[in-house]
């Protein structure tokens, strides 16, 4: 037997806890679950597994351990539990060292960079009475009432909401909104910390981070897993979104008192953004606060990963057959795992519906962003396919069935490439001296344009793109010219700031209410493969 083959058997024969592993008893003496901690990782276990972990000192084999632990244990059970602990990285393989102090700089995949500024330790615990007041039930009810009042304020200001989301705003307004969202996200994190301290926990790190390339504040509340009462852990998870929604509602209420149209629109934009961010945080389909709350509520560690594994195996069984081991016994978790698998695709589709047109109008820069997003989506799809293939191989599926299913999927994919789908060219329009002109940047697919094609004139807001009018391309030839930047992007800037364009005269059938905004030319249907080529390949050639 080679050294590589013998190593696992050797370190599991007389198992030893991995260096730095801590065993925490329940907060309520004698009741509840125990915790095994190594570095930032917390594993919730029962009393029997915790007792076994206490005996793993590297001097006893499985038979001796079973004898020490009592009649409920056998050598086979000990071996099985030790193997599970080894899979979690809690058994010393002979080369492990105790976790060092976490580095100040940390990369959290996929797009988060954290810089630790403060390790509060016991310092913040001295402020527990203050945080207990901040996170009290009275303050919670007050925040809930404020949130409802803020929603009412946005309903009253529906016209302002439409203008803020559906029309260009000044650059200063966008900068103010960005700063406000960063501050709100930071206070959001402090909301988690306040609730944790109220229940006797202790934040381990406080610092700043780049969260999906946006600066923000973070507070590590991993210590919440030491709270015995699952309801307390749920409150810690939900405190952040509640704080952020309260800030948004306050902005919506204060906007009622502001006279300046631009400032009022910026405050309403921030309010809507805060509410939407809070709702996204509450969705349990991604690893955000809503997921932590759900996992705490059902008290199932690694709920999402295990549910996704069961969902992947259910798909493998449906397509290829075979025998698969379940991670979780409940049926609802399979549906939950399927929803977790599908949600990223839904999120990308929603983002595409909102901003692909804007990014296409941005030329090569915008198309590069879209292409990078698609590459990331393909990476996620490929990773899922690799994991599915590993499940199928382990299930002992017949190769003939695998080949037939893959051939069917390949045929379906090939047929989809030739399905005809609508193809539009993104641009803008400008009305001057009673004439309306379609204007396109150099990167637009002008070769698809022809007289008589329908042009939809739409709003150029950051979020909403309402219908403004309709037109058709006239028979007059195109001419070079210039158009305001605000025609293509939802930014209100000086009229002298323009972009070189090619103009196509329009016959307007429905006069738009705005002098300039976005436009979309309906050029007919194309095979899906040609649409992908014209959109994502041709502009770079």
Domain ranges, ordered by start, for the chain: 3-87, 105-298, 303-417, 420-526
* Cα distance between residue 250 and residue 147, in whole Å: 8
Range 3-87: architecture per CATH: Alpha-Beta Complex (3.90)
Kindly report, residue by residue over 178-215, the tens digit of the pLDDT: 999 888 988 888 888 888 888 877 787 777 777 655 66
> CB atoms < 10 A from the CB of 364, how many?
13
Nearest Cα to 193, choosing from 163, 159, 217? 217
Kindly report, residue by residue over 473-485, the tens digit of the pLDDT: 999 999 999 999 8
Q: What are the residues facing 114 on neighbouring strands?
A: 106, 209
The alpha carbon dihedral of 394, 399, 405, 408 has a sign of: positive
Instruction: Summarize the confidence of residues 328-347 as an average pLDDT.
Output: 90
Length of the chain: 541
Q: What is the DSSP string of 321-338?
A: ------S-S-SHHHHHHH
* Alpha helices, DSSP H, located in 171-221: 171-198
Local structure of 340: helix, strand or coil = helix
Instruction: Using alpha carbons only, give the angle 149, 150, 155 rounded to the nearest 5 degrees.
Output: 95
Let me know: does 330 contact 303? Beta carbons within 8 Å. no
**% of the chain with per-residue pLDDT over 70:** 91
Local structure of 525: helix, strand or coil = strand
Nearest Cα to 497, choosing from 507, 488, 486, 505? 486
Of the listed ranges 285-299, 359-373, 487-501, the least confidently predicted one is 359-373
Range 420-526: architecture per CATH: Beta Barrel (2.40)
* Cα distance between residue 239 and residue 135, in whole Å: 8
Quote the pTM value: 0.80
Let me know: does 203 contact 196? Beta carbons within 8 Å. yes
* Cα distance between residue 193 and residue 219, in whole Å: 7
Kindly report, residue by residue over 357-397, the tens digit of the pLDDT: 777 777 677 778 777 878 888 888 888 888 888 888 888 88
Let me know: does 484 contact 498? Beta carbons within 8 Å. yes
């Amino acid at each position: 037997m080679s050294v590589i083959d013998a190593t696992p058997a050797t370190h599991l024969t007389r198992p030893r806890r991995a260096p730095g592993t801590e065993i925490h008893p329940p907060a309520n003496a004698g009741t509840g679950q125990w915790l095994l901690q190594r570095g930032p990782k917390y594993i919730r276990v029962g009393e029997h597994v915790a007792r076994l972990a206490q005996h793993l000192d590297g001097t006893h084999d499985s038979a001796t351990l079973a004898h020490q632990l009592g009649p409920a244990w056998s050598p086979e059970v000990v071996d099985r539990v030790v193997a599970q602990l080894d899979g979690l990285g809690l058994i010393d393989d002979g080369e492990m060292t105790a976790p060092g102090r976490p580095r100040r700089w940390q990369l959290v995949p996929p797009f988060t960079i954290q810089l630790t500024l403060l390790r509060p330790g016991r310092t913040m615990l001295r402020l527990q009475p203050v945080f207990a007041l901040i996170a009290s039930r009275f303050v919670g009810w007050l925040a809930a009432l404020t949130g409802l009042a803020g929603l009412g304020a946005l309903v009253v200001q529906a016209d302002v909401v439409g203008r803020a989301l559906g029309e260009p705003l000044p650059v200063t307004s966008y900068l103010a909104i960005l700063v406000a969202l960063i501050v709100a996200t930071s206070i959001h994190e402090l909301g988690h910390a306040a609730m944790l301290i109220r229940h006797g926990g202790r934040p381990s790190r406080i610092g700043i981070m780049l969260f999906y390339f946006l600066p923000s504040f973070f507070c590590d509340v991993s210590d919440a897993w030491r709270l015995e009462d699952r309801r307390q852990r749920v409150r810690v998870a939900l405190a952040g979104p509640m704080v952020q929604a309260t800030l948004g509602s306050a902005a919506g209420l204060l906007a009622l008192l502001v006279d300046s149209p631009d400032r009022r629109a910026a405050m309403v934009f921030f309010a809507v953004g805060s509410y939407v961010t809070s709702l996204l945080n509450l969705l349990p389909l991604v690893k955000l606060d809503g997921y932590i709350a759900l996992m705490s509520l059902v008290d199932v560690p690694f709920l999402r990963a295990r549910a996704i594994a069961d969902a992947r195996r259910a798909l493998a069984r449906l397509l290829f057959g075979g025998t698969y081991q379940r991670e979780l016994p409940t049926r609802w978790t399979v549906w939950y795992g399927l929803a977790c698998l599908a949600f990223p695709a839904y999120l990308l589709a929603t983002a595409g519906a909102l901003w692909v047109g804007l990014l296409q109008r941005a030329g090569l820069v915008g198309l590069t962003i879209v292409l990078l997003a698609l590459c990331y989506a393909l990476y996620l799809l490929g990773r899922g396919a690799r994991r599915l293939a590993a499940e199928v191989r382990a299930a002992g599926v017949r190769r003939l069935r695998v080949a037939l299913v893959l051939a069917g999927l390949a045929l379906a994919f090939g047929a989809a490439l030739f399905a005809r789908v609508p193809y539009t060219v993104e641009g803008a329009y400008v009305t001057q001296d009673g004439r309306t002109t379609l204007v396109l940047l150099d990167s637009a697919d002008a070769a698809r344009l022809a007289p008589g094609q329908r042009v939809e004139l739409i709003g150029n807001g950051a979020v909403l793109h309402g219908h403004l009018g309709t037109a058709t391309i006239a028979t007059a030839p195109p001419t070079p010219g210039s158009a305001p930047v605000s025609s293509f992007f939802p930014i209100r800037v000086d009229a002298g700031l323009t972009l070189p364009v090619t103009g196509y005269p329009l016959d307007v059938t429905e006069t738009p209410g705005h002098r300039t905004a976005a436009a979309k030319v309906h050029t007919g249907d194309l095979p899906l493969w040609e649409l992908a080529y014209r959109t994502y390949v041709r502009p770079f050639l």
